[in-house]
Structure 1
């Protein structure tokens, strides 16, 4: 049960990121979350929406794995691994904060799924 809760948490984080990147990018909340200027947010809104869509696919994959139950463990492990790799890459290339917001929860969930 703990593993399922942790996987759900990672999925919810990515749904939240989807909302921020696809719908709130140019709003004060979106600009604050990513420390963006008004001009930069306006100029990059299409790129951000694309990133948001990818985060949505990660969340969908995690929820799909949960929905499949025991037969979905490999799906869940795959998508958690994708989140972990994306989080590490983001921490190295964009912001160290991504390591804690994205990669660490994915790693904890990955370990929990593997130990169940």
Structure 2
């Protein structure tokens, strides 16, 4: 069962790497404009904030990856739990303040991974 949990944690990490790329490098490009449903002018004016947000998503991904490669199993679980909870909190906050889609895209996968980790 742990391999399923780790696969789900890896998926959440990959999502956050994707968010990093979208927010730091593709924010004003067609894909970024489409994903975040914004105009080019709005994207240009918020690009620095988006890059900062992307960097934080990168830190979340790095923490999850750290948990996946950590050699001490008990410590690895603690790391994964901490960063999954961080992702869930960020997703709930984003859903409350920006868009309810964030709950499904960010918080739900992390919650599923956290449940799988608990069951493993």
TM-score of the superposed pair, with normalisation by structure 2: 0.95
1:44-80 CA distance string (max 9 Å, x none): 0000000000000000000000101413110100000
Partner of 1:87: 91
Partner of 1:113: 117
What are the within-5 Å matches in structure 2 for residues 12-51 of structure 1? 12-51=14-53
TM-score of the superposed pair, with normalisation by structure 1: 0.98
Aligned length: 116
Report the aligned-residue RMSD. Answer: 0.6
Q: Which runs of 5+ in 1 are unaligned?
A: none
SS for the counterpart of 2:26 is coil
SS for the counterpart of 1:36 is coil
SS for the counterpart of 2:18 is helix
Runs of 4+ in structure 1 deviating by more than 3 angstroms, as ranges, are none
1:74-102 CA distance string (max 9 Å, x none): 01000000000000110111001001000
